[in-house]
Each structure stands twice: as structure tokens, then as C-alpha cells.
């Protein structure tokens, strides 16, 4: 095993540029679907998951461009409500688009998510929260088919503080009539970042 030895007692100086967090960027990219206009995400890391999320947005009809560390998303042209298997399997967190698509278009068809080899990530909490808000959900042939003429705010008690379920519930609740209260919600930094974006 390698050893890192640090001899202290010396003044530190200089500066370090810190990249934005992928876990914050991905739900904000999904939330851009709710904006019905342009979103600019600064300090966006250049990672495969960000590229996968970009391909999903483009498939849905959005215009996406990158300049330096900024990602520009224009969701005015959102036209599709489906994400095919070949795009869903590129990253495990692709299910985060479910709540935003459903809230914006009233329907969403997604295949089961794929991605890294961290084992199964059940999405039952996501689906039960959406059902509580009034969504009708069927699972057919490996696809999740969601429909909702109108979503209604309600109290949702998550069985455990799942980050993804909290994010999906927040995104769907943004277009709900009434107030949605999430108890046992996750409180990771990416939840706070998503909240800050949604309040703008």
C-alpha cells in the first residue's frame, strides 16, 4: 500500500479551481425542462454522465450547447416525452428526468435505468411519490409509462431519505397545484443546489 507523507508546519498559499459537482449538475439539467426557456449552468464538469444527460435533453427536443465550463439548455422546444433504453442505460441517475418530463408534458415513458456497476437501485420510492401526486403508472416490457392530467400537491413520507426520490418529487411538485410536503427527505448538498435553482 502506498504512503503519503506530509511534513507540516509551513504556510500554505496559492489557489485551487474546484469543479462543480456532478451530483448537483445532473438534477439541475433535468430541472431545466421546467423552465420553458434557457438555463445556463456554470462551472459544469466535463464528465461522461453530463454528456449522457446532454444526449437525453437533445433527444427530448431541447437545444444544448457548451462554452467553456458553461452548459446552455433551451427547453422551449421540448417535444418528446420518451427516453429510450439506449440513452437510459448510459447513466444510473437517468431516472431523474421522470418527474420533470411528467410535470411539463403530462406523460413520460422511460425504460428502466442503467449505468454503473453499483448494483440495483430500486425506484419504487420515486414511483410511489408520483402516484401520491396523482400519476397513473404502468410497467410494461421494461418501460415505465406515466400519465397525469394534473398533479396535485400532497404530503409524501419517504420510507428512507433517498436523494433521487427527493429530487424527482421536487421536480414533479414544481408544476403541482397546491403544496407538496416531503418528510424524511434527503438533505445532501445536491438537494440544496436543486432547491436554489428551482427558486429562481
Helix (H) or strand (E) holding 65: strand 63-67
Residue 36 among the catalytic residues: no
Q: Which of 36, 44, 62, 116 is catalytic?
A: 116
**Are 200 and 176 within 8 A, CB to CB?**
no
Q: Note the maximum CA span of the chain.
A: 64
Can you spell out the DSSP letters for 95-156? GGHHHHHHHHHSEEEEEPP--SSS-----HHHHHHHHHTT-EEEEETTEEEEE-S--B--EE
d(CA 90, CA 116): 8
Buried b (16+ CB within 10 A) or exposed e, 101-111: bbbbbbbbbbb
d(CA 109, CA 88): 11
Residues whose CB is less than 8 angstroms from the CB of residue 114 and which lie 6 or more positions away in sequence, other chains included: 85, 88, 89, 90, 91, 92, 94
Catalytic residues: 116
Amino acid at each position: 500500500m502506498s504512503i503519503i507523507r506530509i511534513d507540516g508546519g509551513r504556510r500554505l498559499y496559492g489557489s485551487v479551481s474546484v469543479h462543480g459537482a456532478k451530483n448537483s449538475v445532473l438534477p439541475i439539467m433535468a430541472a431545466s425542462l421546467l423552465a420553458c426557456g434557457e438555463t445556463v449552468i456554470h462551472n459544469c464538469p466535463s464528465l461522461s454522465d453530463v454528456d449522457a444527460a446532454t444526449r437525453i435533453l437533445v433527444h427530448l427536443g431541447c437545444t444544448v450547447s457548451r462554452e467553456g465550463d458553461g452548459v446552455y439548455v433551451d427547453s422551449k422546444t421540448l417535444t418528446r416525452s420518451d427516453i429510450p433504453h439506449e440513452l437510459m442505460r448510459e447513466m444510473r441517475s437517468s431516472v431523474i428526468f421522470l418527474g420533470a418530463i411528467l410535470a411539463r408534458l403530462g406523460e413520460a415513458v422511460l425504460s428502466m435505468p442503467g449505468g454503473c456497476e453499483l448494483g440495483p437501485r430500486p425506484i419504487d420510492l420515486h414511483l410511489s411519490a408520483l402516484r401520491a401526486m396523482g400519476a397513473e403508472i404502468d410497467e410494461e416490457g421494461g418501460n415505465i409509462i406515466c400519465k397525469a392530467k394534473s398533479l396535485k400537491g400532497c404530503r409524501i413520507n419517504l420510507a428512507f431519505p433517498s436523494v433521487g426520490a427527493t429530487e424527482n418529487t421536487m421536480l414533479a411538485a414544481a408544476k403541482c397545484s397546491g403544496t407538496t410536503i416531503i418528510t424524511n427527505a434527503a438533505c445532501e448538498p445536491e438537494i440544496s443546489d436543486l432547491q436554489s435553482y428551482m427558486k429562481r
